[in-house]
Amino acid sequence: MKKGLAVLMIMFVVAALVGCGQKKYAAQAINEDVNVCAVCNMQVKDGAYATQIVTKDGRSIKFDDIGCMNKWKTENGMDQIGMEYVRDYNDKSWVEYEKASYVYDPSIRTPMAYGIVSFKNKKSAESYMKDQGVGALLSADDLEKHAWEQSMDMHGMDNHEHIEEDSGHEQMHGDGDAEHGEMNMSSNSGH
C-alpha cells in the first residue's frame, strides 16, 4: 500500500510540474566587457537602455537600444522568443516587455537614437513626461505600430562623432554603417 501511495504521489508531482503554466525565462545580467548588441554590434551598457530577448532554449540576446531589439524581432520573427525584457529607466530593473510602459519623443537621447525609454509602470512614465516636458505614452501594443525611425539630428550625421552622456553613461556613436554598428573613426578635420 505504501509503495502504491508513493508512486501515486510521484505521478501527481510530475503531472503538476508539467502542467503548471509556462516555463520562466529569466533576464540575464549584462557583462559590459563582452556583451555587444546583436544588431548594431555596439557595446551593451549595463544601464537604462539595455534590452534583451531570452529564447525558448535559454539563450540571451542583448541589445543596446529597444529599437535594435525591434529590428531583430522584425528580421528573425517571434517563434524562438521565450521572453522579452526592457529596463526601467529609473532603477534599471528588468521589466517584461509586455508589462512595461514606454515614452517616445525624437528628442529623447538613446544609444541608437530611437528615442524610446521604458518604465515599469504608467505612473513612472507619466512622471518622466511631466519632468521632461516631452513624450508620448506608449504600451507594448502601441510599439507594434510604431514607425521605429532613428532621429537623424542625434545619430551620426555629417561624419561627426556623437557623444552621449545620458543616465550616467557616456556612449560614443559615429557615423558609419548604422546597420552593423561600424564606427567611422576618421578625423573630423575638413568637415
Q: Which residue has the higher pLDDT, 36 or 181?
A: 36
Residue 168, Cβ density class (10 Å: 0-12 exposed, 13-18 middle, ≥19 buried)? exposed
The answer to which of 57-66, 111-120, 173-182 has the lowest mean pLDDT is: 173-182
Find how far residue 57's CA is from the centre of its chain. Answer: 19
Of 189, 185, 171, 183, nearest in space to 64 by CA: 171
Asked if residue 51 belongs to a domain, the reply is: yes
Asked if residue 176 belongs to a domain, the reply is: no
Give residue 58's pLDDT band: very low, low, confident or very high (50, 70, 90). very high
Question: What pLDDT was estimated at residue 25?
Answer: 94
According to DSSP, the β-strands at 60-63 and 51-55 are antiparallel
Where are any strands of DSSP class E within 31-166? Answer: 51-55, 60-63, 81-87, 94-96, 101-104, 116-119, 136-138, 162-166
Q: How many CB atoms lie within 10 A of CB 164?
A: 17
Give residue 151's pLDDT band: very low, low, confident or very high (50, 70, 90). confident
Q: In the 8-state DSSP scheme, what is residue 9?
A: H
What integer is the mean pLDDT of 146-156?
76
Asked if residue 107 belongs to a domain, the reply is: yes
Question: What pLDDT was estimated at residue 152?
Answer: 79
Question: What pLDDT was estimated at residue 24?
Answer: 86
Q: What is the CA radius of gyration of the chain?
A: 21
Q: pLDDT (tens digit, 9 = 90+) per residue, 2-42?
A: 665 555 556 554 444 444 555 689 999 999 999 999 999 99
Separation of alpha carbons 26 and 20, rounded Å: 17
Q: pLDDT (tens digit, 9 = 90+) per residue, 83-139?
A: 999 999 999 999 999 999 999 999 999 999 999 999 999 999 999 999 999 999 999
CA end-to-end distance (rounded Å), the chain? 87
Asked if residue 10 belongs to a domain, the reply is: no
The answer to which of 11-25, 129-143, 144-158, 177-191 has the lowest mean pLDDT is: 177-191
Model confidence at 170: pLDDT above 70: no
Asked if residue 87 belongs to a domain, the reply is: yes
Asked if residue 76 belongs to a domain, the reply is: yes
The residue segments making up the domain with residue 118 are 25-161
pTM of full prediction above 0.75: no
- Provide the number of structural domains found in the chain: 1
Asked if residue 14 belongs to a domain, the reply is: no
Asked if residue 187 belongs to a domain, the reply is: no
Question: What pLDDT was estimated at residue 175?
Answer: 37
Model confidence at 168: pLDDT above 80: no
